[in-house]
Structures are given as C-alpha cells and as structure tokens.
Structure 1
Amino acid sequence: MDTKLLRQTFGKFPTGVTVVTWFDGVGINGITVNSFTSVSLEPALALVSIDKKANALSQMKNNAFTINILSDQQESIAWQFAGRKQEGLEITWIKDGIAPKIEDVCAFIECKPWKEVDAGDHVLFIGEILNFGRTNSEALTFFEGKMGSTKQFIQQ
C-alpha cells in the first residue's frame, strides 16, 4: 500500500486542529493533534491519537490532558507544538484545573486518563471529560496539508 497516497486520501477529510497539553512535572508540554474525536456522552469521553514515535507518547501516559481546539488565529501555536519553532511566539496559559489550557482557543476539553489503546503505529488516549468550554471564534482547520479557517477553504 502506498502510505503517501493514503495520507493524501485522509487529507481530503477536513479536521480541526488541536494542541493537547499536560503538566509534565516540571512545566507544561504539548503536541499538535488533528486525530481527535468525541467517543461517548455517557460517560463523557474524548480520544486523541498519538504516534508511537512522538516524544509526547511517554509523557502523556497516566497524565490528565487538555484538548485545545485552536481558533483560526492560532496557526503559529499549531506549528510550534508540531515541532516548528515560531520565533517571538508568546503563549498565555490558564493553569487552573487538572491540565493547562491555552488562552483564547475556540474550545477546550479537560480530561483525566480513562483508557489507552494500542492501535498500529499509534496509541489512542481516551480521556474522561471533567471540564469544557467554548467561544464563538472560528476554528482552525486542516485540509489537504494546509491550515486555515473553515471559511477560507469553503471559498476556494
């Protein structure tokens, strides 16, 4: 199977862009994730998929985490946590609760660990949702290898 072509096929499905964050014992850590989904309302569960090669994999184990759904004004934050240093970027953190939150996100979902599932070259982290919030801002969207606002992709 041609994995490059498979990745391009998956890219035809627009997704939101999230940064998953947690306290790592020393400070705050995080990773950009677009493999995120709701799982259940009762109990309230959400899932993020983390590549087994990512440093975040071992750091997230047994840690509470926040799924920060980025606004369309936060693309630089997405790139920062994807491993592309953004010179001059300052992130304002909200540190109350069980895991850190990024200020001015479109929405956030705070989770405590519920279950981890081995899934090929990824691990699925399922979290029990303890807190959440949302704003009226436009979400950052990932489509065909590019980030932008949903409106931007609709107008193309």
Structure 2
Amino acid sequence: MTAMSTPLNPKRLRTVLGEFSTGVTVVTYRDADGQPRGATMNSFTSVSMDPPLVLVSVARRAKACAGLADNEFTVNVLSANQLDVALHFAGKPKNGPISWHEPESGPPRLTGAAAWLQCRPWRTYDGGDHVLVLGQVECHDARRLDPLIFHRGEFRRSGLKLPQLPRTVTFGGAPAGEWVGRVHDLHALSDAGNSGEPLDI
C-alpha cells in the first residue's frame, strides 16, 4: 500500500497528535540582562542516560528560542495545582507574582514544581518550524506531587493508577481476552519493582 499523496490537514494532524497525553513543563533561563524568563512547553522528553540528556522542542518564533541559544536552562515539570503558572508562561499572565528559586549559580527555577532538571547546553538541531534543544542534566530533584497533564488541547489531572484496576475481568461470565494477561504482567512489574529485565508485553 502506498502512502497517500494528498496534503496533510494541519488541523486534523494537530487533533491526532493531541491524543498523545503529555506532562507540562516550563523551561526557565536567564535573559541577556540576567532576568529570569520562562516558556511553557509540553514537547519534552528524556534522550539519554549516559550522558544524561533531555530535549525540549522550541518554536522558532518564540522568544525562548533565542533565549535558550547556548544558555543554561531548567525544565520545571509542573504539578497539577500549577495551571495558572502554565498559562502565565504561555502568554496569559496570572494575578500575582511568580515564585522563583534563585540558586547561587545556574538558571532560575520555579517553586512548587513536581520535578526540575537543571541543564547546560549540549546540542541544537533543526526541527522544521521548531528548534530541538538538548541539555545535559547537571542536577535535579522531584517531589511526589500529581502532575499537570495536557491532552486533546486541554489541561487535566492524572487519573487512576494502573495497580488500582481490577485484577480479574470477565464479560458475561467469560474471561476477557489476551489483554487481561498483559495487564497482569504490568501489575507484576509494578508490584515487584523494575528489576531491569524487560517484560515481553
């Protein structure tokens, strides 16, 4: 089967991509005058453990694109109660000041985040209308807070944890299909902890 040659519908593509749920981050840095700045981004991922690298995708037209060029930055993973912070750094200023943490050295970070990763610049790559910015993680921390989630163009909170799903599922007295066994495998991984051995699921 050959790929369709008709042009993609950007609106439809955005809708399809929106089915992939992500966390929400604010990437913070210092501008040329040393002032703390930030931008809300949900295109964030880990890349490598050796060396420890993470990636953020920055729109070329965004001020942060120039601000992050060869600049240290912190990825702040927002908690569920930081919707106003996400909106603030997306261009909808919140009422009241932003609470910053100013370390003795390195980029600023936000207080109240679920996690943060302080990075030094590693590489940048062409990403079409975005720039892919890789940073090497130099220090990090996390708290056990529910994350802010972005799905289908809306901010959301996380839902049920997988281990809370029923261990046995039947439909009309008959056991469910093969997927139930897969769920049990995931429960085993969750209950026992990841030993480093991959499960064939």
- Same fold (TM > 0.5): yes
* Aligned-pair CA distance for 1:81: 0.4
Does 1:46 pair with 2:54? yes
SS in 2 for 1:98: coil
Which consecutive segments of 4 or more residues in structure 1 shift more than 2 A?
Answer: none
Q: How does 1:87-106 map to 2 (within 5 A)?
A: 88-96=95-103, 97-106=105-114
* Aligned equivalent of 1:111: 119
Which of residues 19, 25, 37 is equivalent to 1:29? 37
Does 1:16 pair with 2:17? no
One-letter amino acid matched to 1:4: K
1:90-146 C-alpha deviation (Å, 9 max, x unpaired): 221111041111001000000000000011110000000001000001000000011
* Aligned-pair CA distance for 1:54: 0.8
* Aligned-pair CA distance for 1:23: 1.0
Unaligned segments of structure 1, at least 5 residues: none
One-letter amino acid matched to 1:32: T
Which of residues 64, 71, 79 is equivalent to 1:63? 71
Does 1:7 pair with 2:14? yes
* Aligned-pair CA distance for 1:25: 3.2
TM-score normalised according to structure 2 size? 0.73
* Aligned equivalent of 1:121: 129
Inter-partner Cα distance in structure 2 for 1:122 and 1:89: 31
Greater strand proportion: 1
Inter-partner Cα distance in structure 2 for 1:90 and 1:14: 29
* Aligned-pair CA distance for 1:84: 1.1
* Aligned equivalent of 1:151: 159
Number of equivalenced pairs: 152
SS in 1 for 2:159: helix
CA RMSD, aligned part only?
Answer: 1.3
TM-score normalised according to structure 1 size? 0.94
Structure of greater relative contact order (alpha carbons < 8 Å, 6+ residues apart): 1
